[in-house]
Structure 1
Amino acid sequence: MNFERYSRQTQLKEFGLDAQKKLLKAKVLVVGAGGLGVPVLTYLNAMGIGTLGVIDDDVVSITNLHRQVAYDESEIGKPKVSSFIKKLQLQNSETILIPYHSFLTVENALEIINTYDVVVDASDNFATRYLVNDACVILNKPFVYGALHSFDGQVSVFNFENGPTYRCLFPTMPNANEVPNCDENGVLGVIPGIIGNLQALEAVKVITGIGSTLSGKLLLFDGLNQNYQKINFSKVVENGEIKNLRKSYDFSCDISISSIEAIDLEVLISHEKIQLLDVRTNEEYTKFHLKNTIHIPISELENRTSELNFLEDLYVVCQSGIRSQKAITFLKEKQPNTNFINVTGGINKMNVYAAK
């Protein structure tokens, strides 16, 4: 270990060399290399975490750049993990960096998480958060939670030293129509940096034992008014007794939904005429859209279903693949015999969009 490199933090009497050695031995998995993952990984890498794993299967898009400050314009369309790992290596050559070019799934979650001491959830969707929680409960691993919305953020620590889990605070996954979406509602660029750094701090405290963690406490950050508030919550014993992962953590787990990869859709529409529904906002659609699509914002879908032909296959697309899935969940209840196909990854994953 390069003692001089970390001298400004080891000279803190509350931290010291012993804490630094704990960081060096620690293995931390960061789920997501986006708005939260960028500051988490940057600071944990700089501070001397011995092993850092990062799992993400997304690519850089132009809409990421205002908040995901590790990426630049030349990397649009390239995998985030590949791009970020190179920069982390240049930042700290002593760190063992393990990239996973995948999303966290029911099939790989237990195997991947089992090799780490702490998990930092830097994902952007409820399905992954519940999957992370349940896997960490099964494997008895603590995880640091962070979430964003507009100008606000949340941070907490779950499953740490027999403390509450994510399900103790949020017992059940919300249904698809209750979930706010970053593509539609937005987030101020600096907010992920604030919340991600708070997550990194909590991870360091979990590993080293300094200070007190946010276990059993939910930190609420109001960026517009620069306010912090803590809410206490208690452990629910049965939430710590999960033995197996569910078969699916998808919003659509109770119904069958077909899917197609965004790049495969591009090939399909270049050869065939299909019925393609775009459920993004008017603003998003105006900025960029595919030819020959039916545009109905998801907020207007309930009153405009007459514009769709339910006797034909219906492909549904949005910016990232989340709202399209919500739309199909709604439409499937109305028209159970129609074959709906969700475009996985949405417009963000299309080559034609990345090239613009």
Structure 2
Amino acid sequence: MPFADRLNNVETSAIRELFKLLGKPGIISFAGGFPDSAMFDVDGIREAVNAALTEEAGGALQYGATEGYNPLREQLAAFMTAKGNQGVAPDNLIVTTGSQQALDLLGKTLVSPGDKVIVEGPTFLATIQCFRLYGAQLVTAPVDGQGVQTDRLEQLIVEHKPKFIYLIPTFGNPSGAMLSLERRKKVLELAVQHNVLVVEDDPYGDLYFGDAPPPSLLALSSQVPGSRERLVHCGSLSKVLSPGLRVGWMVGTADLLAKATMCKQFSDAHTSTFAQATAAQYLKAGRMPGTLAKVRAVYAERAATMGDALRRELGEAIEFVQPQGGLFVWARLTGAGGKLADGGELAKRAIDKGVAFVPGAPFYASQPDHTTLRLSFATVGLDKIEEGVGRLATAL
């Protein structure tokens, strides 16, 4: 087949390929990057579906506006405002089919072949694939326990003059890192100083385990004059309500949203109005705070259990920062005591021992760190976490 040249720039997801190996009976998987289906508020979603069909069946089942179903845009604006994002009105956002579509729309509207885009190292694998599909040259900014290193980020901005910068500031995938308040302000200052666009992807910000994280870049933009016009914010209900609804959104300037809406018309016409009406009714019913409280408590306990087990079973052979939220432990193999220090090789051995995780190298756009690995605690019970980490230790 005469496939498009752009496909030469991307490969099949390493994570999707790994999932093919997970059919082995009895395997314990730390590989997934998704929420636990047992945490879904099925009763609340059922009530929201019934309300949508009772109160607004015509709107829920008909074609809709590409920008999004207006009752949902109103609820999302209120949801954002309640979290400190002042000045977000329904007209300031469009609804997308998951936040992944928002990234695709950014690629379509902003990236020309050869454009430089700065991403974190490591970063969301699908972002690497998406931006490369549109011809971007990706530049990697290093990350530590406090998120992207802003001093190095500034150097890269000056050197490469990127089209935009893509960050997951809060409990990033895969790093789990939380960008400090000081660095968040610095990122916004850099955006203004160098007139560069910053894309803030925030699917995990509500999944904190103790104190709430620092305000989002969007919320902080009111403190840094001129930064709001250089900021795009992407949100999602996938990790906190249900990924099956495929409801995300993008906040940005009017000209960007107009172009993104035009491109969205070419791909799906609009996000499912039925899913949007369901999400709108759910948010309207006020059940989200209770759902989040439950999810946070469960994930916090699982994260603590995994951290304790890793320290106990693997000791000095592994190092990581205990996550304060999100779905992941991002770890590095040290090779201490002559143990294995290659995440890819350990992943193969671990499958044979009945446990799966994702090696870290695919999450780097360049200069991959092969000692790294991502472990998800979200979908595994406490006993299975203990057992799985024990199996991992025997593979090491």
Task: Tell me the TM-score normalized by structure 1.
Answer: 0.34
**Which protein, 1 or 2, shows the higher relative CO under an 8 Å CA cutoff with sep ≥ 6?**
2
Task: Tell me the TM-score normalized by structure 2.
Answer: 0.32
